Structure 1
Amino acid sequence: MGGETRVQALVERFYDLMDLEPAYTALRAAHGPDLANARQRLFWFLCGWLGGPQHYTDRFGHPMLRARHMPFSIGIRERDEWLACMDQAMGETGVPEALRERLKTSFFQTGDWMRNK
């Protein structure tokens, strides 16, 4: 991926797009008014998930993604908006195409597993 600087850039662009693009309104509505906490937690999580420092696990223990997201209504629309937003962010931050395709597959599998409606 290119280290923490690249992960941070991806996370920042992801949440910037969520705020800016009308296509991601359902996704944005699922978050509170301030995205700072979400930005930080996704950065910490992705660092470890991508094989780097385990910032998230060190702070909160096992991610337990499905359990931690259960309070949020996640259906096909929310999953697809998250995936589209992340794909756009990966494209705009220069994630290499081969890696981008592998990540898209992994993100889809995780996102589909997270659906609760």
Structure 2
Amino acid sequence: MDNSTTTYEKIGGDAAVALLCDRFYEFMASVPQFSELRSMHPEDLQGSRDKLYMFLSGWFGGPDLFVEKFGHPRLRGRHMPFAIGVKERDQWVACMVLAMESVGIEEGIRAKLLENFFNTADFMRNKEG
């Protein structure tokens, strides 16, 4: 693929982003090692899933659904009410790694996304430890 192809297109567009988000929250809800991460979310994960889906759609180069509905993501500000440290960051990233693997995102794309996800999740940290 040429360099003008977006990540959104490379991974399979809307259906792939939706499936990635579904799997992310399925793993979060079912894998015991993600219990601290899960406890930071409401009982019903649908709203969280929908926001991640809208955000990732635009972040991957597809329709900018989150911005259209909510405005600028202001990720750090939106996550400030939650105590996010190294453990929470690492759980989020590990959960996303499982989700990316489970939906079959190609290894090269997955590696670059992992780097970007880690950097973004690290930026969300607002507590020691």
TM interval, short-chain normalised: over 0.9
TM-score norm. by structure 1 comes to 0.99
Question: Is the aligned partner of 1:94 residue 2:104?
Answer: yes
Of 65, 68, 71, the match for 1:58: 68
1:1-117 residue pairs with structure 2 within 5 A?
1-117=11-127
TM-score norm. by structure 2 comes to 0.90
Specify every segment of 5 or more residues in structure 2 that has no aligned partner in the other structure, as ranges. 1-10
Secondary structure of the 2:62 match is coil
Give the aligned residue type for 2:32.
P
The runs of 4+ residues in structure 1 deviating greater than 2 Å are none
Specify every segment of 5 or more residues in structure 1 that has no aligned partner in the other structure, as ranges. none
User: How many residues are matched?
Assistant: 117
CA RMSD between the two structures: 0.4
Percent identity (aligned): 49
